[in-house]
């Protein structure tokens, strides 16, 4: 019962964060909600006793990739008006990709014994990983990825490549480059007196601080002591 309650809590927070990643107007807000998604998914992996995946998601994505995302977002400082340009133009493509993604999920859940479902479904469910006593969690994961689910693994690599190209295309500066050709002869004929103004200022010498002279009475008292 506790397992189901925790799973639904983590799942609801993940869905809410995913919606905020897409709908947030501020880029920093989207990135922070993406970090929250990774943390919640890691909690779900821990519930499934997949500690290696959970720690990898925290260390690699939250610790390295998301720091890079934050650094890139702060350095680029893309205006919001530029982000809104072309939204309607690319909306049909986004809807098509969403339909394909939903269709893949439904094939995995409801596909049964079809070829596509077998390539993405876990044989024996989660218990097949839990039952592996001779192999560790990471070794069992590697065996499953490179044997039974090699097509899904290669498809994931292709999706990551497409995402990398899309990120480069989105952050590329759009518009003419600010380039100014300078003639060599024009640069040589330039008058330096009109470019730099020389100002001569008298140096100011600071007077030394006055030294307090000790009275003769104080000196005699010190000598007596």
Q: Where are the domains of the chain?
A: 1-78
Give the pLDDT confidence score for residue 9 in this predicted structure: 92
Mean pLDDT rounded to a whole number for the chain = 74
Judged by DSSP in three states, 132 sits in coil
Give the pLDDT confidence score for residue 211 in this predicted structure: 58
Please say if the pLDDT value at position 56 is more than 80.
yes
For the domain made up of 1-78, give the CATH fold: 1.20.120
* 125-157 per-position pLDDT tens digit: 445 545 545 667 777 778 888 888 888 888 888
Structure confidence at residue 17 as a pLDDT band (50, 70, 90): very high
Exposure b/e, 158-188, CB count within 10 A at least 16 = b = eeeeeeeeeeeeeeeeeeeeeeeeeeeeeee
Give the pLDDT confidence score for residue 125 in this predicted structure: 47
Give the pLDDT confidence score for residue 225 in this predicted structure: 56
Q: How far is CA 147 from the centre of its chain?
A: 31
């Amino acid at each position: 019962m506790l397992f189901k309650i925790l799973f639904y809590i983590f799942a609801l927070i993940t869905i809410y964060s995913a919606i905020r990643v897409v709908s947030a107007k501020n880029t920093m807000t989207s990135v922070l909600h993406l970090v929250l998604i990774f943390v919640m998914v890691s909690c779900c992996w821990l519930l499934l006793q997949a500690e290696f995946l959970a720690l990898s998601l925290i260390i690699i994505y939250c610790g390295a990739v998301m720091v890079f995302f934050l650094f890139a977002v702060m350095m680029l400082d893309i205006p919001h008006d530029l982000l809104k340009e072309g939204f309607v133009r690319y909306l049909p493509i986004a809807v098509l990709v969403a339909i394909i993604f939903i269709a893949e999920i439904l094939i995995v859940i409801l596909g049964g014994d079809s070829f596509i479902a077998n390539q993405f479904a876990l044989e024996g469910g989660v218990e097949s990983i839990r039952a592996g006593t001779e192999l560790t969690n990471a070794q069992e994961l590697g065996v499953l990825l490179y044997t039974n689910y090699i097509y899904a693994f290669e498809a994931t690599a292709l999706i990551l490549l497409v995402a990398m190209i899309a990120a480069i295309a989105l952050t590329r500066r759009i518009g003419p480059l600010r380039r100014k050709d300078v003639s060599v002869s024009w640069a040589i004929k330039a008058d330096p007196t009109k470019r730099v103004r020389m100002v001569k200022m008298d140096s100011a010498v600071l007077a030394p601080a006055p030294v307090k002279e000790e009275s003769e009475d104080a000196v005699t008292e010190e000598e007596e002591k």
